[in-house]
Amino acid sequence: SEAKALFSVIGMTCSACAASVEKAIKRLPGIREALVDVLNNRAQVLFYPSFVNEESIGEAIEDGGFEATLLR
């Protein structure tokens, strides 16, 4: 089954930042969709929990130089 996570992502200042965050998330296994909203500093991710979890997704975002906090 599918799960959904919403992150606050701090440090995105342009649409290229958002594209880079989206790409970093989508490189992980088990990602169904990643929607990054630069104006609201949010990333919503649909994923398959048997392949990936919230912690790994957050780490992938932070590896790109952004600060990620899981909201729900």
CB-nearer residue toward ligand 9UX: 18 or 31: 18
| Helices (runs of H) and strands (runs of E) counted in the chain | 2, 4
Question: Is 3 a residue that touches ligand 9UX (CB under 6 A)?
Answer: no
Question: Is 16 a residue that touches ligand 9UX (CB under 6 A)?
Answer: yes
Asked if 70 and 53 touch (Cβ cutoff 8 Å), the reply is no
- Sole binder of ligand 9UX in the list 3, 6, 17, 28 (CB under 6 A): 17
Asked if 49 and 43 touch (Cβ cutoff 8 Å), the reply is no
Question: Is 39 a residue that touches ligand 9UX (CB under 6 A)?
Answer: no
What does the alpha-carbon distance between residue 62 and residue 38 come to, in Å, rounded to a whole number?
15
Binding site for ligand 9UX (CB under 6 A): 13-14, 16-17
